[in-house]
Amino acid sequence: MSNSIVQKLLDLTDKVAIVTGAAAGIGRATALLLAHAGANVAVADLDLEGAKKVAAEVKALGRRALAIEADVARAADVKTMVETTVQKLGGVDILVNNAGIYPVKPALELEEAEWDQVQDINVKGTFLCSQAAAREMVKQGRGGKIVNLASIDGVYPLLVGFAHYDASKAAVIAFTKSLAKELAPHKINVNAVAPGIVDTPGLRRLLSPWALTPAL
C-alpha cells in the first residue's frame, strides 16, 4: 500500500507510536504502516540489530524513529522504553503491544518454566507496557490509543500444541476489555486485534507439519 493511500485513510502526522516486537513480522509491518500514516515510531524489540534495521526503514519514509532493546516482561526495560520514547520523540500517543512468543509443545509435555515464560511475555508484557504507556498518556492529557495483538486462538483454538499460547491470548482479550473501561475517562482507547495464521519468519521457523494438525 502506497504512502499516499495510507495517509488518505489514516492521518497520524506527528503522532508518536511505540511498537513492541517490531524487528520482524507483524510488528515490522505495523511500524512501517504507522510511519506511512505520518507517525514517528519507537521500534522496540529484544533483537536490537533487527530493530535498528526497521528504524532505518521508518526514517527512509521521512519519519523520526528509535530502535530500543527491551524485554517486555521486565518492568525496568519497559520503563526505560517509555521514558526514552518520551525524551527523544516527545511523548506517546500510540502503543501497539505486538511482542509475543508461541513455542509449540503439547500440554502434557510442557514444563512449568515454559508455561511461565509464555505468560510473562504475552500477558505480563502486555500489562507492563500498557500500564507504563497509559500513565504517560494520562499525564499528557491528550488521550491515546493502545492496540493489543491477541489471536483468533484466544477465542477458538485452531492448532494443537498451543494450549499455553491460547491461554495467554484469551487473557490478553479479557485484559483489553477491562482496561478499555478503566481508561475511557482519560480518552484512551484500548482495543485488540485477533489475527489468524500469518505467514511471518517466526511462524516459518517454529511450525512443523505435526503442529499444523487441526485441533478436534
CA distances to 22, 172, 191 from 92, rounded to whole Å, are 16, 21, 16
- Residue 121 carries which DSSP code? I
Q: For CA atoms 199, 205, 206, 212, give the dihedral sign.
A: positive
User: What does the alpha-carbon distance between residue 215 and residue 159 come to, in Å, rounded to a whole number?
Assistant: 5
Catalytic residues: 165
Residue type, 159: L
Residue 58 parent element (H or E): helix 48-60
Residue type, 38: G
